[in-house]
Copies of this chain bind each other. A is one copy, B any other.
Amino acid sequence: MVDQVAPWHAPTAPDRWLESRVGATRALVCTYAAQRCDEHFTVADTGILRAVLTGFVGQGKFVRSTFAYLGWLCGRPESDAAARAAASLELLHAFALIQDDVMDDSATRRGSATVHVQLAHWAERQRRPVGAQFGRSAAVLLSDLCLVWAERMLRESGLPAESLAKALPVYDLLRSELAVGQFSDLLNENSAAPSLNAVLDIARRKSGNYTVLRPLELGAVAAGCSPQVLAALRQYGTAIGEAFQLRDDLLGVFGDPLVTGKPLGDDLYQAKATTIVVAAGELAGDTERRELRRLTAGRPLPGVIDERWIQAWQRLIVDTGADELVEKMIAERVEAAVTTLADEPGVPSAPRAALTVLADRCTQRTR
């Protein structure tokens, strides 16, 4: 049974509604994670896992759960069960972030030490005779638990069986695409000189689908939306997913570490072939191409922060016009997405208003 909650008063105030959604989702995911910790962390030394995980899941922007819930609202009224199902995506996202930080060897996330670094520090403080890989291994195990518990949260959300049966194939697809996208990303080094289209394709599979398209689709198919509405939401999701990743790539070069919570020029240090870097390569004239080769060859050693090297990269990217190109690509995608929604009469006005606000918010953000 879908339990109906108070009707939705958002059309006049989608911003306020979105804000209260985030608060509600945070409460749901924090409570669920704490319950699972209480259930399974009963043996020695697992207290640290509880402390790290409950601290971690309460943060973030809750983008994926919001898209999933808005997908649901395109076909059905508000529902506690659907809110829980949507919130489960944040526990899945915790899995993805914890593993991503291990694989990228990132020291900070959201301005704090990453999970594997926290766990390594704990073992040091406790003077436990563990191997050098302890923090990484323990973080991967904690991420496994998030993956298992996320699926359990979705299954136990209270969604009607027929809704769940429709949602699970999308959920399986989302999780498989995520892992395959991560694998492509491991192999995605700038020195391989991929094309902008190839990099956009990875971005779509790795991040765009996972962040926007699949969550939206999951909610919409669970709610039994019509093929017309589903098609419009998929167009919106693909466009905003790409724009989201394009913004992420811009922030990876120009973002303020104090706001993004990530180190300055993180993507540059990792020599990732991001859209902005590849666009700079494609737009570069002869002089700029020489400078690009010089900067690529002169990458600082891991752990060394070289602000002049970052600033030279930023100048080069501006000189080629790559930042303007990427901004233009973002704006085109946002406009196309918003127009698609406006043109499909089957999308109810309330979720449409919120999705229109989110289209901007996801792509004009500073963190």
Report which of B140, B141, B205 forms a contact with A43, defined as CB distance below 8 A: B205
Partner-contacting stretch, out of A10-18, A129-137, A323-331: A129-137
Known contacts A99-B144, A144-B99, A148-B176; A133 and B155 CB within 8 A of each other: no
Q: Is the CB of B187 within 8 A of A141?
A: no
Closest chain B residue to A190, Cβ basis: B129
CA distance A341 to B142 in the complex (A): 37
A37 to chain B, nearest CB (A): 10
Cβ–Cβ contact B129 & A192, under 8 A: yes
Measured CA separation A189–B131 after assembly (Å):
10
Which of B142, B179, B184 contacts A44 (CB under 8 A)? B184
Within 8 A of B (CB), among A64-111: 99, 102-103, 105
Compute how far the CA of A151 lies from the CA of B147 in the bound complex, rounded to whole angstroms.
11
Residues of chain B within 8 A (CB-CB) of A192 are 128-129
Contacting pair A183 B138 (CB below 8 A): yes
With a CB–CB cut-off of 8 A, which chain B residues contact A189? 128-130
Q: Please, which residue of chain B has its CB at the minimum distance from the CB of A155?
A: B168
Please determine whether B141 and A183 come into contact, CB atoms closer than 8 angstroms. Answer: yes
Residue A145, interface by CB 8 Å: yes
For residue A175, CB closer than 8 A to chain B, the reply is yes
Answer whether residue A343 sits at the interface, using C-beta atoms and an 8 A cutoff: no
Alpha-carbon separation in the docked complex, A287 to B36 (Å):
48
Each complex incorporates copies of this chain amounting to 2
Q: A43-B205, A182-B141 are in contact. Are A133 and B105 (CB under 8 A)?
A: yes
Pick the contact of A186: B130, B177, B183 (CB < 8 A): B130
Interface of A is mostly: helix
Q: Which residues on B sit within 8 Å (CB–CB) of A175? A: 144, 148
Q: Which of B129, B144, B191 is close to A147, meaning CB atoms less than 8 Å apart?
A: B144
Check B43–A103 contact: CB distance below 8 A: no
Q: In the assembled complex, which residues on chain B have CB atoms less than 8 Å from the CB atom of A22? A: none
Knowing A130-B187, A180-B41, A184-B43, say if A140 contacts B140 (CB, 8 Å): yes
Given A152-B172, A155-B168, A172-B148, the answer on whether A46 and B141 have CB atoms closer than 8 Å is no
In Å, the complex CA distance between A128 and B273 comes to: 14
Alpha-carbon separation in the docked complex, A145 to B95 (Å):
13
Interface positions of A from 275 to 311, Cβ below 8 Å from B: none
Chain A interfacial positions (CB closer than 8 Å to B): 36, 39-41, 43-46, 49, 99, 102-103, 105, 123, 128-131, 133-134, 137-138, 140-142, 144-145, 147-149, 151-152, 155, 161, 168, 172, 175-177, 179-180, 182-184, 186-187, 189, 191-192, 205
Q: Which 9 A-B pairs rank lowest in CB-CB distance, beginning with the nearest?
A: A103-B137, A40-B176, A148-B175, A144-B179, A141-B179, A129-B189, A141-B183, A145-B179, A129-B191
